[in-house]
A = this chain, B = another copy of it.
């Protein structure tokens, strides 16, 4: 049954992953594997590397994140991602959109605004 639960969660997560990643980067730069690990710590927000990297590519192409290669003390170089100025305002607006949608859904769930 855990599988079914996971699939449901996966549905909800769609579209919100981008917001969550921007929010994480708002607190400081991170590299790919680190982002995957941070998400894995939060039940319901897990995402595999195969999901994260294409998303990060899209974010970079869209100009909302900037990247820097840095040496690693223990392995291959890491590509650090950080919010660009455009990314910061995108985060602000996405956060507002998110709150609106979440409120609308909660409203439906609680039977609100029902004039029948």
Binding site for B on A (CB under 8 A): 4-5, 8-16, 18-20, 23-24, 27-28, 41-45, 93-95, 97-98, 100-102, 104-109, 111, 113-114, 116
The 4 A-B residue pairs with the shortest CB-CB distance in the complex, in nearest-first order = A11-B15, A14-B14, A8-B97, A12-B101
| Contact with A105, one of B16, B100, B106 (Cβ below 8 angstroms) | B16
Binding site of A, secondary structure by majority: helix, strand, loop or mixed?
A: helix
7 A-B pairs (CB sep. < 8 Å): A12-B16, A12-B101, A15-B15, A23-B108, A27-B111, A41-B113, A42-B113
A105: chain B residues within 8 A (beta carbon): 16, 19-20, 45, 98, 102
Is A27 in contact with B107, judged by CB distance below 8 angstroms? Answer: no
